[in-house]
Amino acid sequence: MDFLIKIRKNIFNLIEAKKGNVIGMVYDIFMLLLVVLSIIPLMFSPEQNETNSVLLFLNSIEWYILGFFILDYVLRWSTADLKLKKGYKSFLIYPFTPFAIIDFLVIVPTIVFGNKIYTTLRLLRILKITKFFQFSNGFKIIGNVFKTEAKLLGIIFWSLWLIVFIFAILIFNIEQGLEGSEINDFFDALWFAFISVTTIGFGDVAPSTDAGRVITMFFSLFGIVFMSLVGGVFVSGFIKTIDRYKAHKVEEAIKNKKTTLNDNLKEAAENIVLNEIKKQEKTKKDQNTKRETEDTNKINTKR
């Protein structure tokens, strides 16, 4: 039983590599390389994938790459309790965690349909890119920013969509049905509202009335404010995360120094005790030798 626990801990240390774990870092780099190799065919058309020798090779090893992804999924599931720290419940919770769901969506379509899968399912393979968040410490820091600022970002996100929706309704009712208007249905209005509020402004759709232009200017100002808020939240969250990361590193360094100091003190104490024991043994031995010498001298004197 202890042997199995030790194996599971070693597996966990491998797939959740910490700084200084060379084998774990090699594993992360290897898995990232597989991710890159598996998404290269998505950059080319199906016709090119069937004629280009390099792409044919990459498609031919897709099953081997998939095998490593499945193995990684199984290993993470089998050590879920060590990561989630919720006992046996961890094994039930893990399949419903974000990365586990993404792994499932990446693996299953390929197993069911193979390389010749429908375009929509084929695009699910792009989700493999999210594995960079699993294996890269830099991406993990960005992920932590989303996690720590989730509540504030959520408020901004839903507020932004509310503004877009209100803007779309107004612009649709002003522009819809007018001669020369480029907004013919509500989706056109929603698209125009979104690219205006997010300050993208492709220019493919524009209002044709003065009222529409005035409303667009008004809501574009709202968009600038909201985009600034999003940037501010990200910068603030990133600084906080970096500070926590640095503080954690300092704590680890102090802890390691304390451990080293304690080990040195323990070793020094053991040496002092050993030296004291040796000293006492030497003193005792000297006393015995002296006593034996005195007894021998007494015996000789009597003779």
Least confident of 27-31, 210-214, 290-294: 290-294
Q: Are residues 130 and 170 in the same domain?
A: no
Tell me the residue range of the domain where 177 lies: 152-253
Condensed to tens digits (0 to 9), the pLDDT of residues 58-75 reads 767 777 888 888 898 899
Q: Which tokens sit at 126?
A: 């792009």
Q: Are residues 84 and 8 in the same domain?
A: yes
Domain edge (last residue) among 78, 105, 135: 135
Q: What is the pLDDT of residue 169?
A: 93
Q: Are residues 7 and 74 in the same domain?
A: yes
Q: What is the pLDDT of residue 156?
A: 84
- Are 141 and 242 within 8 A, CB to CB? yes
d(CA 5, CA 14): 14
Q: What is the pLDDT of residue 194?
A: 92
Q: What is the pLDDT of residue 144?
A: 76
Phi, psi values for residue 14, rounded to 5°: -75, -50
Within-domain flag for 300:
no
Q: Which tokens sit at 268?
A: 């020094």
Q: What is the pLDDT of residue 136?
A: 63
pTM, entire model: 0.54
Name the percent of the chain lying above pLDDT 70: 71
Q: What is the CATH number of the domain that holds 249?
A: 1.10.287.70
- Are 28 and 17 within 8 A, CB to CB? yes
165 pLDDT exceeds 90?
Answer: yes
Q: What is the mean pLDDT of the chain?
A: 77
Domain edge (last residue) among 212, 231, 253: 253
- Are 163 and 219 within 8 A, CB to CB? yes
Within-domain flag for 303:
no
- Collapsed DSSP state (helix, strand, coil) of residue 245: helix
d(CA 45, CA 51): 10
Q: Are residues 120 and 162 in the same domain?
A: no
Q: Which tokens sit at 247?
A: 């503080």
Q: Are residues 227 and 119 in the same domain?
A: no
Q: Are residues 165 and 105 in the same domain?
A: no
Which residues contact residue 17 at a Cβ distance below 8 angstroms, ignoring those fewer than 6 apart?
Answer: 23, 24, 25, 27, 28
Within-domain flag for 278:
no
Within-domain flag for 286:
no
Q: Pick the residue with more confidence: 51 or 302?
A: 51
Q: What is the pLDDT of residue 166?
A: 92
Q: What is the CATH number of the domain that holds 43?
A: 1.20.120
What number of other Cβ atoms are within 10 A of residue 291's Cβ?
A: 10
Which residues contact residue 229 at a Cβ distance below 8 angstroms, ignoring those fewer than 6 apart?
Answer: 156
163 pLDDT exceeds 80?
Answer: yes
117 pLDDT exceeds 60?
Answer: no
What number of other Cβ atoms are within 10 A of residue 182's Cβ?
A: 13
Q: Are residues 74 and 106 in the same domain?
A: yes
Q: How many domains does the chain have?
A: 2
